[in-house]
Structure 1
Amino acid sequence: MRPLTEPESPAPSYPDHWEADIVLRDGGTARLRPITAADADRLVSFFERVSEESKYYRFFAPYPRLSARDVHRFTHHDYVDRVGLAATVGGEFIATVRYDRIDERGRAASGDADSAEVAFLVEDAHQGRGLASSLLEHIAACARERGIRRFAAEVLPANNKMIKVFTDAGYSQRRSFADGSVHLTLDLEPTAASLEVMQAREQRAEARSVGRLLAPASVAVVGVGRRPGGAGRTVVERLREGGFTGTVHAVNNALPEDATELGGAPAHRRIADIPEPVDLAVLAVPADQLPGVVGECGEHGVRGLVVLATEHSAERQRSLVQLARAHGMRLIGPGAFGIINTDPAVRLNASPGPYLPRRGPIGLFTQSAAIGIAVLEELDQCGAGLSDFVSAGDRADVSGNDLLQHWYEDEHTSVALMYLESLGNPRKFTRLARRAALAGRPVVVVRGGRHSGGAPPRGHTVPVGHTPHATVSALLRQAGVVEAETVTDLVDTGLLLARQPLPPGDRVAVVGNAESLGLVAHDACRAHHLEPLPPRGLGPAARPEDFRAAVAEALADAGCDAVLVTAIPTVTEDSTAGPGRAEHVAALSEALRAAVADAGVGKPVLVAHLALDGLATELATHGIPAYPSAERAVRALGQAARHAGWVRTAGDSGRVPEFDDLDAPVATAVLNAALVGRPAPRGPADAAAGAVELPAADTQALLGAYGITVVPTLPAPDEDAARLAARRLGYPVALKTTAPHLRHRPDLGGVRLGLSSEEELVRAYTELAGQLGDPADLLPVVQPMAARGVDTVVRASTDPLTGAVLSFGLAGPASELLGDMAHRLLPVTDRGASELIRSIGAAPMLFGWRGAQPVDTAALEELLTRLGRLLDDHPQIAAVDLEPVVVASRGVHVLGAAVRAAPPPPRSGYGPRRLPTY
């Protein structure tokens, strides 16, 4: 790839939005940034570390050193026609990439030329870490932003690694061979294949980065006191007591010269004094010491950090994360409780927690330390085991998304439990959770702060979207996330999903020895949309073998999908705990185990019991969850049944309909005209800036381009204007006010329908003004009458974090007050539209409720899919409000429409891989 000459240009503006932190293939991190004129010495030093072979591959000839002209050329860019990026660790270059705009003959060009030559150089010690692939993604994004549509590259045939980087990227490409080199041309428009490649690489890299944190061979605890007590000393003791299989080092900068040990671990004054590599450092130092300690860890080559200290300053959090990532480290915290890995080959308890939990299939992530402690204790009391646990505190770096990447490929984790106080990237979270659920690893989430106005807790630096929490819940359900209401619900549901198969349906057999407890279970089933079968009462004197027979019979019943066992002490037992009670508990546990084992069917069995101490622990050894109340057991079963229903249908999400009458160029022209002069936002924080509401004519043109017709509306500021409007539209007409305080409130008398003559119109106009006020305030309009039907509302909005969401409900204050709206993420498929209109509580109104004529739901579904296509094709649309939409027996009629447009931020998921910065 021979260097090009380029003309001089004025000093350009530095594009700081191109800076990014990335995770590499081995789980380490690097910093990407544009190369500047101040990087001359770094570039020379980097070039000297590169082998002669790598230089030959880059320049097609021996190139032992860079000349002064080379250094100037490779460090001076205009960031339009000539761009250079560097990957750095610890401030030093480890890889570079550059593009130069070229014309059709391969000469340096500018202006309208849409091709560029691209070239890479990776330091040999860092080859194989995925640097070139990441650099290609980022330089391609820079090029697209500057109007470049394709890359050209010349590669020597022997440079197989570089050829593979290009061919594996997923872009459309062409290849030829001439003059002893391979000539590659890549079209830079993202394709389904390139997006899939990026997501697969992202998954592997982020999973590996978490895996490095959870399975260290050596741990250093910084800030270990000389006396018992204190977080650092406690962590050292927990590591040793838990049987950590690696080495532990204690660090105390005030350590006496003659001290060699702290808490039973080798002691050092500085982390630099540790005579071996350190994989993980747990920082138990005050917040003001963190920057210095993080820098020392980076210099020593530490691979990951757990920060126990709390740091509420968002700016200082960002500085810590930048410092850690600059040295190739991931960071858990600040304010973390710690991390746990129960793998027998690791046995890591890097937390103040009192013991290493038993091994099991549950992965746990929490932001709150207190919630983490509570869940760990609850799981232990239930006899449940963990695969691993991360308490991330303010999660300034490592987040729940990273853990989902890890658990997706962890064969020892079958269910993920998560307590989240904020969702930094909801769109990515739902994508990862959906993929995990489809792979048989359900994700159970309880969200803190759902009713606190949406503000994250103090110290959390994540961006906050504007999507209401009820909408977020609907989107989580759409992605297959099991959302729990409480922490207790989180544990209960997790136990069932981890230990038992999903129910094939919602029919529940209740088997027990207490009629009253069975009735409670029956009512609870109804409340959670389960179908209780006729009770199978065993009587108060039932023996364990009676339970075994009844459970076996229920499991063998083809009309039964799950079995709930309700148990209380039998009347023949001693009323106080003793040997007899313990023997009965053991016998009952064994009977239930045998019944499940003998049946061998994929149906869940769970137990609700009262006053049978020890039964939950006994059953846990057999994988049967037990609950201290029927309500808790049924709630967990209801969650499992809903998730099972999602799994059964998730593989067939429908198709996005194709329409022959869409006119995308017209829609684009309308939006471009509305947004002239409004700059694109740099990110989610200012995505709403510059939004504009389209005039009525533009709104009608935009919607009409996608086959959505808005019933014409003419203003009627006075009686004469009303008469003229009615003549133009034709009788019968409707007269309505559009004043904000009366709009969409027909119950307040602001609407007059079925006006069939001029006399009726004038009378209605006079009444309207007399009852409600001055026409100048009422803003009356005239519309032609639409067919009678059911009034509905269709809305769509784009949140920079959540993405575009389509919402549907019946029009009117009742639905709005009750929150009876359904929501769907784009794109909207035919099946998605059908489910959307059927998922509101008032859906029977559409299907002939109480003898009314059913309405045209097929036309309504078509409207929803057309609107979904409009938003999916045009991210400039910030919001659409169609109200009311009258669904008649034949067709739909959009009586009101409003559209807001704004320059869109870059689409999440379409850009290069990068770690979030908050």
Structure 2
Amino acid sequence: MTRTASRAQEVCALLADGSTVRLRPARPEDRGQVLRLYEEMSVDNLRSRFFAVSTRSGEQAADRLCGPAGPGHRTLVAVHGDRLVGVAEYENVDDPTSAEIALAVADDFHHRGVGTLLLEHLVHTARENGIAVFTADVLADNHLIHKVFADLGLRVTRQFDGTTVRGTIRLAPDERYLSAVDIRARTADTASMQPLLRPHSVAVIGAGTRPGSVGRAVLHNLREAHFAGLLYAVNPHAHAVWRVPAYPSVADLPHPPDLAVIAIPAAAVPEAAAQCGRAGVRALVVVTSGLDAEQSAALTAACRRWDMRMVGPNCLGIANTEEPVRMDATFAVTKPLPGTAGVAVQSGGVGIALLDGLSRLGIGISSFVSLGDKRDVSSNDLLQWWECDGRTDLALLHLESFGNPRAFSRTARRVARGMPLLTVDAGRSEAGRRAAASHTAAAATPTMTRGALFSQAGITATRTLGELLDTAALLHSQPLPAGGRVAVVSNAGGAGVLAADACADAGLTVPELPPDLVGMLLALLPGGAGAANPVDTTPTVSAQELSGCVDRLAESGAVDGVLVVLVPTAPATAVGTDLVTALTTRAPAARSGKPIVAVRLDQAERVRLLPTGDGRTVPSYGEPQAAARALRHAAERAHWLARPHGSVVEPPGIDSSQARALVEAFLAGEPAGGWLDARATDQLLAHYGIPRLRQACAATEQEAVEAAARLAGPGGGVVLKAQGPGLVHKSERGAVLLDLHGEQQIRAAYRDLTARLGAVMSEVLVQPMAARGTELLAGVVQDEVFGALVVFGLGGTTSELLSDHAARLAPLTDTDIRELLTTPRCAALLYGHRGSGPADTGALEDLLARLSRMADDLPELAEAECNPVIAGPGGITAVDARVRLLPRRAHDPYLRRLP
């Protein structure tokens, strides 16, 4: 790569202390700063870097780093503000897969993560250029660099030679490396968020004196929340606003505030952000809306230049109810109730609704962030904050877009192990997405794509805000059910039937109870009661009898949860109210850890939390459907927590280098990309060991006859499939002729295809008739936002019509593969259905693992489809396949960088 080509756009990333550095390739004009870096080094650090103390060493290093780049030389620099604070380089001379590295960091930036961050990005660049190993000669007593190498997370070996050590670093990022990156990212993120969510001082820029102004409302809420720190207003036309002292500009404040809330016209926002940066402000909340692209870019650049984190623009604001903070920097009317739920939303309206709902339920919030346009702080940042804040035990998200779904999924998967993560699945009917050219691409709808992300990450996805709050109420107050078996108890038979139907509709089961349990229940309940499930207690049941019934059910192993439906049936006495005490006198923990939920058909609210005797709560719903859906979500979370973590499957017999060469050769001839022909498709699948039906391409009638003679199966039948650039859906064009026998039928079929398709057909593909079995679809789609998805489900000509498919984000773990096989409705066909033999599920698992590896290896793989895949007891075969390539570069979603 030439020096001109290396002028890639710089990226910004966080150091361990939360400050921001810019990383980019070195430039000729950096020579003076690189030289200064070495000139300002201590004698000990110069010796560690050059093995001697010499001014000439620094000059030579500066010349090399900033001079013309050789073919195997790469240099990265780290810039903080206007100052160059670190440099890393590698150079390979003889072996193209190995490179020597060197690293230097300014003395006063040691222990802040500069060197590690530079190495992470250098590893990424090296792997893109085919380098597999880094080597470095280090003084034995250079403990700092030894620790940097050891903590990197990659495999390091050392060879001692007197006073020096030869270190070798294998550039094969694995789970250990990614976990080390996760820890560094979490440390840096939470440090950078301190001035945003735990500020010691806040200034509101644009706090006006006019009633109704946004800035004035923010300042009012900060005052009303009794913000624990210093509070300032910035307004050049007032001496005070809401009895808070006002100053003409941020520069005039007596002390630089940690946080500035900007609520001024869009055109003035970038300069206000720059003024904040120059004054030493650490974080911004920009509530202003209407910034154009240029203004937004200037705002972000100011944050990066002056080391500030930012929420917004176009947001409602932020809040933190921790007692040492007490910050409400929003312009919402609802005052946040202190609690334990973390909330992040993109829509201000949704944020207001969630604040109101959580306050009404009594759950309250730990912190609230309205992300707005997400120019900087995102849901990833908030997840890591809540993971470490020591207060949040429930997270609610409303996300209209995903900046980095892979990183979000990995973070969410880790955080969800410790607390429930809930979201509204917004944007399910994204009209802008249109089905692409293959069945696989058509199957990968926005709903399926988001569903794959949520399922793998353990996120509870609801369809409405009401359902989100219903589920939050249950997860906040009740233990998780071990499964989906529910006992329905009601004091009115008809209401119990409605609740049982609601459970069935939600995917829960209402099992018949065992005889001994039925006998115990009937002995407890009034005469005329029924205990088959639903349990009809009759309207005359007392609170004590109802409590005993619920106890017996919860203590039994027959069900995983109890849903109690109460109907007021006695006008003279508040029977419904009295019966509620059966659920609230004893705490849920006293009932063997089973969730207990109530449905009160006379309840006006959708859901409320009823206090129990020990200070806990029981959720009470206004309709059985809401309770059943919440129980289903709780059961799904329990299932996700219980499943194995899984590990990425690495199938044997894969030739990635040959596959890469095939892709590069195709794109060299077709720079815009396109569909591979049958021969190239077969070769690519062969490189990944995907079982295919035997085939031959024929350009003439005689070649077709000869190929049929070679390939005819035991029954002698063959298939002719017309090939051509425009023939993707062959069946719809009549381009597939089946079960042809003998030379005469082959010739007639070939002539028929030629006559009907003309120049559209370039040749025919000849295959033997496939054995009978279940027709399936397995394929890959590259989503522009989410990356590669592996799709699996029902195949054949009705694949798109029946739309019975599931998807998971690649790379797949063994757990993902098993779930992918069992999620579609057609899964029953694979395990034997009504006397049919089971399919070879092991071979199907292997196929999905190979497709996952292909998707992970080849970012150019826009879509690949094997349809149909014939699955039977003796194995599987891909009967037809198509592959489309596009010119794309690999993107590392886990490389640490800011938006």
TM over 0.5: yes
Aligned to 1:525: 503
Kept in 2: contact 1:171–1:186 (CA 8 A): yes
Q: Does 1:160 align with 2:143?
A: yes
Aligned to 1:732: 717
Give percent identity, aligned residues only: 37
Tell me by how many angstroms 1:333 deviates.
0.3
Aligned to 2:687: 705
Tell me by how many angstroms 1:594 deviates.
2.7
Aligned to 1:445: 423
In structure 2, C-alpha distance between the alignment counterparts of 1:526 and 1:513, rounded to whole Å: 20
Greater shift in the superposed pair: 714-723 or 364-373: 714-723
Among 452, 455, 467, the residue aligned to 1:477: 455
In structure 1, C-alpha distance between the alignment counterparts of 2:65 and 2:703, rounded to whole Å: 69
Greater shift in the superposed pair: 322-331 or 154-163: 154-163
SS of 1:616's partner is: strand
Aligned to 1:843: 827
SS of 2:482's partner is: coil
Tell me by how many angstroms 1:510 deviates.
1.6
Aligned to 2:227: 244
Tell me by how many angstroms 1:904 deviates.
4.8
Tell me by how many angstroms 1:846 deviates.
3.4
Q: Does 1:895 align with 2:895?
A: no
Cα 1:486/1:474, change in 2 over 3 Å: same
Tell me by how many angstroms 1:481 deviates.
1.7
Kept in 2: contact 1:48–1:65 (CA 8 A): no
Aligned to 1:559: 558
Q: Does 1:633 align with 2:622?
A: no
Aligned to 2:464: 486
Aligned to 1:495: 473
The 5 A counterparts of 1:27-176 are: 27-39=18-30, 42=33, 58=49, 75-76=66-67, 78=69, 83-93=74-84, 95-99=85-89, 101=91, 114-124=98-108, 126-145=109-128, 150-153=133-136, 159-175=142-158
SS of 1:477's partner is: helix
Greater shift in the superposed pair: 82-91 or 601-610: 82-91
- The CA RMSD over aligned residues, in Å, is 3.5
In structure 1, C-alpha distance between the alignment counterparts of 2:56 and 2:600, rounded to whole Å: 78
Cα 1:115/1:766, change in 2 over 3 Å: closer
Q: Does 1:273 align with 2:252?
A: yes
Aligned to 1:671: 663
Where structure 2 has 5 or more consecutive residues not aligned to the other structure, the ranges are 435-442, 512-532
1:824-882 Cα shifts (integer Å, max 9, x gaps) = 23334555434323221223333443444444444333333333344444555443211
Aligned to 1:616: 608
Q: Does 1:547 align with 2:546?
A: yes
In structure 1, C-alpha distance between the alignment counterparts of 2:835 and 2:733, rounded to whole Å: 27
Greater shift in the superposed pair: 757-766 or 604-613: 757-766
Greater shift in the superposed pair: 149-158 or 510-519: 149-158
In structure 2, C-alpha distance between the alignment counterparts of 1:556 and 1:473, rounded to whole Å: 35
1:501-557 Cα shifts (integer Å, max 9, x gaps) = 211011111223233322221101111110124022233344433432232222112
Code of the residue aligned with 2:635 in structure 1: it is: A
Code of the residue aligned with 1:835 in structure 2: it is: E
Greater shift in the superposed pair: 878-887 or 387-396: 878-887
SS of 1:650's partner is: coil
Among 215, 218, 224, the residue aligned to 2:207: 224
In structure 1, C-alpha distance between the alignment counterparts of 2:92 and 2:484, rounded to whole Å: 64
Code of the residue aligned with 2:188 in structure 1: it is: A
Cα 1:49/1:626, change in 2 over 3 Å: farther
Cα 1:141/1:538, change in 2 over 3 Å: same
1:9-30 Cα shifts (integer Å, max 9, x gaps) = x993162436211112122222
In structure 1, C-alpha distance between the alignment counterparts of 2:125 and 2:690, rounded to whole Å: 37
Tell me by how many angstroms 1:373 deviates.
0.6
Q: Does 1:868 align with 2:861?
A: no
Aligned to 2:6: 15
Code of the residue aligned with 1:203 in structure 2: it is: R
Aligned to 1:4: none
In structure 2, C-alpha distance between the alignment counterparts of 1:410 and 1:103, rounded to whole Å: 48
Tell me by how many angstroms 1:736 deviates.
4.7
In structure 1, C-alpha distance between the alignment counterparts of 2:284 and 2:838, rounded to whole Å: 61
In structure 1, C-alpha distance between the alignment counterparts of 2:837 and 2:656, rounded to whole Å: 36
Aligned to 2:794: 810
SS of 1:237's partner is: helix
Tell me by how many angstroms 1:646 deviates.
1.8
Tell me by how many angstroms 1:789 deviates.
1.9
Q: Does 1:235 align with 2:192?
A: no
Kept in 2: contact 1:744–1:884 (CA 8 A): no
Code of the residue aligned with 2:788 in structure 1: it is: A
Q: Does 1:204 align with 2:197?
A: no
1:767-802 Cα shifts (integer Å, max 9, x gaps) = 7789x6769669765421221222222211234542
SS of 2:587's partner is: helix
Tell me by how many angstroms 1:265 deviates.
1.9
Aligned to 1:6: none
In structure 2, C-alpha distance between the alignment counterparts of 1:695 and 1:745, rounded to whole Å: 14
Among 592, 597, 602, the residue aligned to 1:606: 597
Kept in 2: contact 1:755–1:761 (CA 8 A): yes
Cα 1:65/1:417, change in 2 over 3 Å: farther
The 5 A counterparts of 1:379-778 are: 379-437=358-416, 439-453=417-431, 468-533=446-511, 534-573=533-572, 585=577, 588-597=579-588, 599-612=590-603, 616-619=608-611, 622-651=616-645, 653=646, 656=649, 658-659=651-652, 661-676=653-668, 690-714=672-696, 722-730=704-712, 731-737=716-722, 751-761=736-746
Q: Does 1:784 align with 2:768?
A: yes
Greater shift in the superposed pair: 34-43 or 213-222: 34-43
In structure 1, C-alpha distance between the alignment counterparts of 2:492 and 2:786, rounded to whole Å: 48
Tell me by how many angstroms 1:289 deviates.
0.8
Greater shift in the superposed pair: 284-293 or 136-145: 136-145
In structure 1, C-alpha distance between the alignment counterparts of 2:2 and 2:197, rounded to whole Å: 46
Instruction: Count residues in correspondence.
Output: 864
Q: Does 1:320 align with 2:299?
A: yes
Tell me by how many angstroms 1:899 deviates.
2.2
Where structure 1 has 5 or more consecutive residues not aligned to the other structure, the ranges are 1-9, 105-110, 457-464, 575-579, 679-688
Code of the residue aligned with 1:415 in structure 2: it is: L
In structure 2, C-alpha distance between the alignment counterparts of 1:889 and 1:166, rounded to whole Å: 51
Greater shift in the superposed pair: 592-601 or 477-486: 592-601
Cα 1:671/1:609, change in 2 over 3 Å: same
SS of 1:595's partner is: coil
Cα 1:532/1:741, change in 2 over 3 Å: farther
SS of 1:532's partner is: coil
In structure 2, C-alpha distance between the alignment counterparts of 1:816 and 1:715, rounded to whole Å: 27
Tell me by how many angstroms 1:74 deviates.
5.6
Cα 1:161/1:593, change in 2 over 3 Å: farther
Kept in 2: contact 1:348–1:356 (CA 8 A): no
In structure 1, C-alpha distance between the alignment counterparts of 2:569 and 2:281, rounded to whole Å: 60
Cα 1:58/1:169, change in 2 over 3 Å: same
Cα 1:600/1:347, change in 2 over 3 Å: farther
1:391-420 Cα shifts (integer Å, max 9, x gaps) = 010111111111112222333222211111
Aligned to 1:685: none
Normalized against structure 1, the TM-score is what? 0.86
